[in-house]
C-alpha cells in the first residue's frame, strides 16, 4: 500500500471500473436498481426511493426493531418450498411416485420455520439435539424428521428414538453399532440410512465440499477403506446393519457439497449410489427402498451467480435416475432430497446502519508499485459484521449490497462493507459499487443472508445477535427475538 502517492489516480467516474475490483464485478448501470435473482419476491423501492418489503419500508423496520436486522419474506419462503416440492414430485412421479423433500434446518431454523415447512408438505432435516428440540417444540411429527451428524451423542440417539424419527442418518461403522445397541437395549427398532461418500468432489469451497474422501463425513465406498479385504466401509456397514434386529435399514444417503450450480455432480453421485445399491441388494438379498441425494443447490449471492430453477435440477436428476435404474434392471428407490439454502437463502436480507467511512489508496493487483499510481478503496463500516455473517471470513464468500434508505444519483465508488469487530478480516461485502455519497446514518441492505448467517452467528466482542423479522401480507413480526446485553450478562455467573 502506498499512503502518499505523488501521482494519484482519479476517483472513479460513473461507468468506470476500478482496477481494484475483481474481474467478475461490473459497474452497475443503475446503482438504485435491484438485481432480481438476489432478492425475495415483494422487495422493491417505494415511491420515496426506500427499499421496502411487502410495502413495509426499511426505515419503519429499523424504527420498530433496530439494526442489524434479518428481514425474511415468509411468502417467498413458502413459495420456494412449494417450488422444490412440486418440481421434484412432477419429475419423479413416473419413477418412484414422487420425492420426499427434507428442508435442511441447519441453514436456518426456528419454530415458525418448522411450521411453514410442515404446512407446505415438506419434511425436516436436523443435525443436532438442539435442532431436534426446536422440531419437537414446533410439533412436527417425528416420522417427518431426520437426524444427521458425524458424532451423535447417546443422548441425541435416545432423543431420536423418543421422538420416533423417520430416519437416523448414520455416519460411521462405530455409530451404527452404538445406534443398534441403544435401540436393542430399549427393545426398539431404529430406522437408519447410511451416509456414503461417493468420491464426487463438488466445484465449491474446500470446506463445504463433503463427498470426497479426505473429510469427516460418511462411509467410504473405496475398497481399501476398511480392514476387511475386498470390502469398503460402506459395504461393511450394509452387511452389519442387515444383521442387526434392532436396525431397519431404509437405504443410502449422500451429500456432495454446497452452493452447486451444475447438475453434473448430482448425476454422477446418483449413478454411483445406484450401482452400489443394486450390488448390495443382489449380494445380501435385501431391499434398500430409499435413496437420499442430499442438497447443496446454489443461490445467487452476486449478479454473476446463475442458479438453476428447481424444475431444471429436478428434470436433470430424474433423467439420470430413470436411465440408471433401467440399465441396472432394478425398481427405483424412493428418492429424497435436502434443500436448505435454496429455500431460505434468498428470502432474507440483512439491514445495517452505516457508521464511519474512510478511503485508502492502494496498488492494483499486478501493478508496479514504483509508478506511484494508486487507486481508492472506500471502507464503509456498519453496525454488525462477522458476528451476524461469518461466511466471508469462513469461506471467502461474496455478497452484494445496496443503499436501502434512499436513492442516489452519485457516481459509483468501489467500496468494502466491513463490520465493527476487532478483526481485520471482519468483512461483510468484499467488493461492491455503492454511491459516492453514502454517509453515516444511511441504511444498507445485504441480500441472500437467509442461510448460514443467523445460524452461524456469535456474540464476538459481546455483540448481541440480531433478531429475525418475518414479513407477510404487509405485516411484520419477530420470529426470533434479538438478544440484549442483559441476555448476555445473565449467563455470566460472576454477575
Q: What is the mean pLDDT of residues 305-325?
A: 94
Residues 106 and 338: their CA atoms lie apart, in Å, by 11
Share of the chain above pLDDT 90, in %: 84
Write the DSSP string, 381-397.
EES--TTT--HHHHH--
Query: Is the pLDDT at 9 greater than 90, yes or no?
Result: no
For the entire predicted model, the pTM comes to 0.92
Residues 484 and 494: their CA atoms lie apart, in Å, by 18
- Spatial contact of 233 and 291, defined as CB atoms under 8 Å apart: no
Write the DSSP string, 216-237.
SSSEE-STTSSSSTT--HHHHH
In this predicted model, what pLDDT tens digit does every residue of 374-390 receive, in sequence order? 899 999 999 999 999 99
Per DSSP, helices labelled H in 163-309 are: 173-185, 233-242, 264-284
Joined grid coordinates for residue 5: 502517492
Query: Is the pLDDT at 209 greater than 60, yes or no?
Result: no
Strands 402-403 and 443-447: antiparallel
Residues in a beta bridge with 403 = 444
Helix, strand, coil percentages in the chain from 3-state DSSP, rounded to 5? 30, 25, 45
Catalytic positions: 422
In this predicted model, what pLDDT tens digit does every residue of 64-98 receive, in sequence order? 999 999 999 999 999 999 999 999 999 999 999 99
The beta-strand segments (E) located in 240-347 are 247-253, 290-292, 334-337
In this predicted model, what pLDDT tens digit does every residue of 344-403 receive, in sequence order? 999 999 999 999 999 999 888 877 666 677 899 999 999 999 999 999 999 999 999 999
Query: Is the pLDDT at 14 greater than 80, yes or no?
Result: no
More confident residue, 1 or 302: 302
Amino acid at each position: 500500500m502506498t499512503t502518499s502517492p505523488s501521482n494519484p489516480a482519479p476517483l472513479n467516474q460513473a461507468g468506470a471500473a476500478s482496477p481494484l475490483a475483481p474481474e467478475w464485478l461490473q459497474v452497475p448501470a443503475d446503482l438504485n436498481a435491484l438485481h432480481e435473482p438476489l432478492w425475495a419476491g415483494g422487495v422493491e423501492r417505494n415511491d420515496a426511493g426506500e427499499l421496502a418489503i411487502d410495502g413495509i419500508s426499511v426505515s419503519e423496520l429499523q424504527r420498530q426493531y433496530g439494526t442489524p436486522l434479518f428481514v425474511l419474506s415468509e411468502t417467498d419462503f413458502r413459495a420456494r418450498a412449494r417450488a422444490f416440492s412440486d418440481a421434484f414430485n412432477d419429475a419423479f412421479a413416473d419413477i418412484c411416485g414422487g420425492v420426499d423433500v427434507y428442508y435442511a434446518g441447519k441453514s436456518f431454523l426456528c419454530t415458525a420455520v418448522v411450521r411453514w415447512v410442515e404446512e407446505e408438505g415438506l419434511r425436516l432435516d436436523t443435525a443436532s439435539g438442539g435442532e431436534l428440540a426446536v422440531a419437537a417444540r414446533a410439533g412436527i411429527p417425528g416420522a417427518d424428521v431426520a437426524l444427521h451428524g458425524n458424532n451423535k451423542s447417546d443422548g441425541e440417539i435416545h432423543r431420536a428414538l423418543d421422538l420416533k424419527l423417520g430416519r437416523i442418518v448414520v455416519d460411521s461403522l462405530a455409530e451404527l453399532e452404538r445406534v443398534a445397541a441403544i435401540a436393542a437395549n430399549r427393545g426398539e427398532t431404529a430406522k437408519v440410512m447410511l451416509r456414503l461418500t461417493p468420491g464426487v468432489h463438488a466445484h465449491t469451497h474446500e470446506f463445504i465440499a463433503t463427498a470426497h474422501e479426505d473429510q469427516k463425513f460418511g462411509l467410504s465406498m473405496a475398497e481399501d477403506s476398511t480392514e476387511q479385504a475386498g470390502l469398503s466401509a460402506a459395504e461393511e456397514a450394509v452387511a452389519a446393519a442387515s444383521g442387526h434386529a434392532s436396525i431397519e435399514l431404509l437405504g443410502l444417503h449422500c451429500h456432495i457439497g454446497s452452493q452447486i450450480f451444475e447438475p453434473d455432480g448430482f448425476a454422477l453421485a446418483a449413478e454411483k449410489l445406484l450401482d452400489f445399491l443394486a450390488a448390495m441388494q443382489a449380494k445380501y438379498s435385501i431391499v434398500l427402498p430409499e435413496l437420499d441425494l442430499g442438497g447443496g443447490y446454489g443461490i445467487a449471492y452476486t449478479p454473476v451467480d446463475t442458479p438453476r430453477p428447481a424444475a431444471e435440477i429436478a428434470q436433470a436428476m430424474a433423467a439420470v435416475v430413470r436411465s440408471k435404474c433401467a440399465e441396472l434392471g432394478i425398481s427405483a428407490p424412493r428418492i429424497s432430497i435436502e434443500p436448505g439454502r435454496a429455500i431460505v437463502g434468498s428470502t432474507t436480507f440483512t439491514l445495517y446502519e452505516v457508521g464511519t467511512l474512510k478511503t485508502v489508496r492502494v496498488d492494483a493487483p499486478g501493478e508496479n508499485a514504483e509508478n506511484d499510481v494508486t487507486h481508492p478503496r472506500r471502507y464503509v463500516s456498519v453496525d454488525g459484521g462477522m458476528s451476524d455473517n461469518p461466511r466471508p471470513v469462513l469461506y471467502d464468500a461474496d455478497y452484494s449490497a445496496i443503499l436501502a434508505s434512499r436513492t442516489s444519483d452519485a457516481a459509483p465508488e468501489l467500496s468494502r462493507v466491513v463490520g465493527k469487530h476487532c478483526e481485520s478480516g471482519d468483512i461483510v461485502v468484499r467488493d461492491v459499487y455503492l454511491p459516492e455519497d453514502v454517509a453515516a446514518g444511511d441504511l444498507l441492505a445485504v441480500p441472500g443472508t437467509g442461510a448460514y448467517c443467523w445460524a452461524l452467528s456469535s456474540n464476538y466482542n459481546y455483540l448481541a445477535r440480531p433478531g429475525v423479522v418475518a414479513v407477510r401480507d404487509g405485516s411484520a413480526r419477530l420470529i426470533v427475538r434479538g438478544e440484549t446485553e442483559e441476555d448476555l450478562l445473565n449467563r455470566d455467573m460472576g454477575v
